[in-house]
Every structure is written in structure tokens, then in C-alpha cells.
């Protein structure tokens, strides 16, 4: 497994390219992506980002958390047949929620991450709720706390943050997404 941010971004882009190359109905594409291991690969990438985020706190850990949160959100917000992202492990999602809640509470978010989170909650807040896991009550409690905190972020803050294409390139599907949302053509 490749567990560097650059290596994970490359793996993500292979998943996306493969999903985009498949023709057929949404249902047929989803079946094929599950059968050929693409969804398993996206789940492994997500788990690797969460593992990096859970390590010693540094800028790389924050970046890994940004990407993990994006993948978890995007898996809920967009059809998997277009993204190649699905079948994320519930225990890993729980760990992602725990890390995100701690990061919010410890005020370790940067402006970029706050703007991203504000947008994610505005577009698809359900991605941060309703997860089930081994201990559904704990998940629900964390999700309630997390969504309450995330709702304080401005969903349009990304318009005031200087998102630059060069800063977003090579950051996996999160970078591709944010280039399409926040960057004007050069």
C-alpha cells in the first residue's frame, strides 16, 4: 500500500479515471465497479488517509483528514458510479468523525478546511449523520455533536478563501472537486 499523500492522490485519480471510462447505466456501472474491486480500492484509500490523519499532528495529518472527510462526504453526496467511491468501512468512518470532531474542538482547522466543511454541510449535511456502526448510539452522539459544530461554518466562505488551482492540483478527487467549485478559469 502507498501511504504518502502523493501516492494516495495518484491511486484516487486511477479510481476516478476508471469510473469515468466505464459506459452503461448507473446500475450497471455500479455493479462493475464493485465486482472489479474499484470500490474496495476507494475504501482502502479512505482508510489510509484516516490512518495518516490519526498519526502525530502536523500539516500532513491535517491534509490527510481533509481528504478523508472529502471522500466520506463525496461517497454520500454523489453517485458512486461517477466517482468510484463506495463501500467505505463504517469503523473507519467513525474514526474519521472522531478525528474531525477533535480537530474542530481543538481549533486546529485552517481557513481552507473550514470553508470546505461549511460547503459540505450546506450541500449534503446528511453525509455527517445517520452512520451506523458497532455502537450506533456512540456514532449518533458524535454525529449530533459534529453536525452542530459544522453548522456554524459559512457555506459560502469558499468564495472569500483564495482557492488556487496550483494549490489544489495533485490532491486527489478533493482537488478536482474544489478546482471545479472554487477556481475560475485562468
Q: How far apart are the first and last CA of the chain?
A: 36
Convert the pLDDT of each residue in 168-180 to its tens digit. 999 999 999 999 9
Query: If you average pLDDT over residues 46-71, what whole number do you get?
Result: 96
Q: Which DSSP symbol is given to 55?
A: S
Question: What whole-number percentage of the chain has pLDDT above 90?
Answer: 67
Mean of pLDDT over the chain: 88
More confident residue, 53 or 3: 53
Q: Where does 22-171 have alpha helices with state H?
A: 26-35, 38-53, 59-77, 80-83, 90-105, 111-124, 136-150, 165-168
Task: Report the domain count for the chain.
Answer: 1
Query: If you average pLDDT over residues 138-161, what whole number do you get?
Result: 73
More confident residue, 98 or 36: 36
Say if pTM beats, i.e. exceeds, 0.85: yes
Gap between the Cα atoms of 181 and 186, Å rounded? 14
pLDDT for 135 beyond 60 = no
109 in Cβ contact with 68 (< 8 Å): no
- The residue range of the domain holding 174 is 5-182
Amino acid at each position: 500500500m502507498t501511504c504518502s499523500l502523493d501516492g494516495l492522490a495518484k491511486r484516487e485519480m486511477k479510481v476516478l479515471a476508471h469510473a469515468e471510462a466505464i459506459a452503461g447505466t448507473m446500475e450497471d456501472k455500479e455493479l462493475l465497479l464493485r465486482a472489479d474491486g474499484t470500490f474496495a480500492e476507494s475504501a482502502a484509500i479512505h482508510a489510509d488517509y484516516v490512518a495518516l490523519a490519526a498519526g502525530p499532528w502536523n500539516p500532513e495529518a491535517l491534509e490527510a483528514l481533509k481528504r478523508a472527510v472529502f471522500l466520506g462526504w463525496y461517497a454520500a453526496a454523489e453517485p458512486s458510479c461517477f466517482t468510484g467511491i463506495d463501500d467505505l468501512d463504517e469503523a473507519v468512518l467513525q474514526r474519521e468523525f472522531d478525528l474531525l470532531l477533535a480537530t474542530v474542538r481543538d481549533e486546529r482547522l485552517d481557513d481552507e478546511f473550514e470553508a470546505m466543511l461549511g460547503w459540505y454541510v450546506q450541500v449534503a449535511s446528511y453525509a455527517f449523520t445517520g452512520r451506523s456502526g458497532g455502537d450506533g448510539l456512540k456514532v449518533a452522539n458524535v454525529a449530533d455533536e459534529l453536525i452542530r459544530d459544522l453548522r456554524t461554518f459559512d457555506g459560502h466562505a469558499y468564495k472569500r478563501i483564495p482557492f488556487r488551482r496550483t494549490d489544489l492540483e495533485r490532491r486527489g478527487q478533493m482537488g478536482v472537486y474544489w478546482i471545479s467549485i472554487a477556481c475560475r478559469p485562468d
